Structure 1
């Protein structure tokens, strides 16, 4: 669907913001770009819809160079959601959602039906919210409108640039769940930028970890957790949980018929636990020389995802 071929971007010719990135995003895939500030993730995202011109290389969309598309045709195929929700303040919610459908020439009755469909998809009663102005909605409701507005012309691709980072933790968690539910129904190709590894692990089919303009690793959350491709990935993954993780909080009972190969002390740190889980699905935990339970790979992944309820941990 989307293919980067040795793509680089330099703003001042002295440093590459994106350095020889090659990757392929499959149709219907949810890919999350994650990494520290300045790693190139947002620049990579914005090159897809030509908000930022690339310096070198090629980006392909369905086998065609993005530079070969008329700019309006390219952007009608790509919905875009920002952290700054950017709803037009003097327009109603219906008018906000209708902007792109009007530009592409849909009839008024079709636009109204589409607005109704999208508001229902966002969990907002059309009869209640259609005529409201953005300031009458909560931050979470406004961001829901921002998401469905990006879907109004039924684009193939949805780009999302840290769309939930300004929200409170509860709203953020709810919108993550809503987005996953929406994706299960509409199966769009989504490219999502975040600095929060917990959010990345929760949302992404695959996660692309970037550092200094390069891809350090692109893989499923489980593969990244258990088989980090570089020292940076190992450190970045560990730092996301180091301040909040305690083995004692994640011990599970060992089934009677299960035998475990490894046992580590209950006061072990996050890093050694990850090393053991790289080769085993579960690790025994011992206290005072006695095995008292186990920690599972699945449990750790669940922990990383649910940390967003507490606001996550920052990797900035």
Structure 2
């Protein structure tokens, strides 16, 4: 478990980047930090492994202050994946993955077995890839190696700082699917930073929306979508998806015996849909006095996930 207790970060004693943050991340949870540029999400992530020192407050890791851990012990418990994966070009893939296990003085046979296990886990044949150089791999393959390198010594926590944002849309959605499949197997505590709301909703058990160094809302994607906690959250989610959402493309057929408890006109905007879905699982859509179909919460979430295939939304 990771717990932020009144955590603040200032630069030069003046510029407040993170402001009195209180947040609890449960063991095995996939939490995504999302928000506009400069909102403090990457700073929040980097304070967990002390890459950035906090100014005030306390961060707890399993009821122990992170400041009480020797720095190497803390970081061995925490894997870290960056946007620019930075594999060592003069090392083989196996040597790149083996760095931390070797620093921890694992036996050679144990290291080799771990490399084989991890490569198989992300669909890279160990017989083909373990002796290759990083430049022989595609961007998506290098990013897979970056993820498993962070997992090599079996850390409890995985921090991921916009790890897929530099990839093309097809590679990006494949890596998103891969990390979800991997998480079902490894059940690590993952803290993931992105500026892409669709990616956040697709990946996160919960999503933490930040603005100006503060938390606006921490909730499941469905709760954020249907019960935004503040005007900022409502505007942030609406801006991210409204431009791409079309009722006609997401309309579901009327089932036999369907009874409309709530209806909206065919030309309704995104905000009206979200407000109605806050208290209804599905909304009937009316055109010229006839029910022509309905929009569901599940359908909206599916739409958000599918948008990742088309790339990221505009960075607001």
* Residues 171-186 of structure 1: pairs in structure 2 closer than 5 A: 171-186=171-186
Q: Deviations over 1:182-209 (max 9, x none)?
A: 0000000000000000000000000000
* Residues 125-140 of structure 1: pairs in structure 2 closer than 5 A: 125-140=125-140
The residue aligned with 1:285 is 285
The residue aligned with 1:157 is 157
Question: Any idea what SS the aligned residue of 2:294 has?
Answer: strand
Q: Deviations over 1:141-176 (max 9, x none)?
A: 000000000000000000000000000000000000
Question: Any idea what SS the aligned residue of 1:22 has?
Answer: strand
1:117 aligns with 2:117: yes
The residue aligned with 2:44 is 44
The residue aligned with 2:69 is 69
How far did 1:222 drift? 0.3
Aligned counterparts of 2:314 and 2:110: Cα–Cα separation in 1: 43
Does the 8 A contact of 1:239 with 1:315 survive in 2? no
Does the 8 A contact of 1:195 with 1:314 survive in 2? no
The residue aligned with 2:298 is 298
Does the 8 A contact of 1:260 with 1:282 survive in 2? no
* Residues 1-316 of structure 1: pairs in structure 2 closer than 5 A: 1-316=1-316
Aligned counterparts of 2:4 and 2:151: Cα–Cα separation in 1: 24
Does the 8 A contact of 1:35 with 1:315 survive in 2? no
Question: Any idea what SS the aligned residue of 1:241 has?
Answer: helix
Aligned counterparts of 1:314 and 1:8: Cα–Cα separation in 2: 29
Aligned counterparts of 1:126 and 1:165: Cα–Cα separation in 2: 26
Aligned residues: 316
Does the 8 A contact of 1:143 with 1:163 survive in 2? yes
Aligned counterparts of 2:312 and 2:252: Cα–Cα separation in 1: 23
Does the 8 A contact of 1:39 with 1:212 survive in 2? yes
Which consecutive aligned stretches of 4+ in structure 1 deviate over 4 angstroms post-superposition?
Answer: none
How far did 1:315 drift? 2.9
- The alignment yields a C-alpha RMSD, in angstroms, of 0.7
How far did 1:15 drift? 2.3
Aligned counterparts of 2:99 and 2:84: Cα–Cα separation in 1: 18
Aligned counterparts of 1:185 and 1:17: Cα–Cα separation in 2: 35
How far did 1:96 drift? 0.2
Aligned counterparts of 1:304 and 1:244: Cα–Cα separation in 2: 10
Q: Deviations over 1:255-288 (max 9, x none)?
A: 2233222111111111111110011000011112
Question: Any idea what SS the aligned residue of 2:245 has?
Answer: coil
Aligned counterparts of 2:177 and 2:225: Cα–Cα separation in 1: 22
| TM-score where L is the length of structure 2 | 0.99
Question: Any idea what SS the aligned residue of 1:10 has?
Answer: strand
Does the 8 A contact of 1:49 with 1:78 survive in 2? yes
Aligned counterparts of 2:166 and 2:260: Cα–Cα separation in 1: 43
How far did 1:122 drift? 1.1
Aligned counterparts of 2:15 and 2:110: Cα–Cα separation in 1: 48
| TM-score where L is the length of structure 1 | 0.99
Question: Any idea what SS the aligned residue of 1:252 has?
Answer: coil
Question: Any idea what SS the aligned residue of 1:258 has?
Answer: coil
